[in-house]
Amino acid sequence: MTETTQSLFETRPPSTLAESAFVSLYGWVYEHSPWVAHQLYERGITKNLDNSAALADAMAAIVNGAVDDDKLSLLRAHPDLAGKLALADLTESSQSEQKGAGLDQCTPDELARFTELNDLYKQKFGFPFIFAVKGYHRTDILEAFERRVKNDPETEFNEAINQVHRIAKLRLEAL
């Protein structure tokens, strides 16, 4: 097996990395929130974290154990979906994920609805709508958006955190 066909977990297992390398490789998994990787490293990276599923679970535990203000900052670090795609400062991962769901190809009506829902959602909840878009089409995402904007704040906060975990897990699996 050549290095190009091996996963990052095989070529550079997390348990073998110095903190700077670990944070460099995994600090982006949670959008603009390298503190998750820093805290996990401080707790200790053992060989049992040398696979994507275990690392995803350990990173999720860091987030779940954080205070609500840190969780809210994490949620606020995410970009809007579709509505301001052309103007947003997207990470490479977010841009790829949104394009994969066809969010860069919205019709004018879809774009207007995404923009309207983005504004309504942020006004109601104080953070952008977060949806792990991989495997979904923009119409599925719009339907979920329509449903979730009706949630109460606590339900939606928890759903947004769950979506963030799904995004992180998908990003780790892609490595």
The string of pLDDT tens digits covering residues 97-126 is: 667 667 778 888 988 999 999 999 999 999
What ranges do the domains of the chain cover? 3-67, 72-174
CATH 1.10.3330.10 fits 72-174, yes or no: yes
What residues have CB less than 8 Å from 15, skipping those under 6 apart? Answer: 45, 46, 47, 49, 50
| Amino acid code (one letter) for 75 | L
Q: What is the largest CA-CA distance in the chain?
A: 51
Q: What confidence tens digit (pLDDT) does each residue in 55-85 have?
A: 999 999 999 999 999 999 999 999 887 754 4
Query: Which pLDDT score, from 0 to 100, does residue 86 have?
Result: 46
Question: Which pTM was predicted?
Answer: 0.87
d(CA 165, CA 159): 10
- State the catalytic residue, choosing from 32, 38, 78, 137: 78
Q: What is the DSSP letter of 171?
A: H
**Is residue 78 annotated as part of the catalytic site, yes or no?**
yes
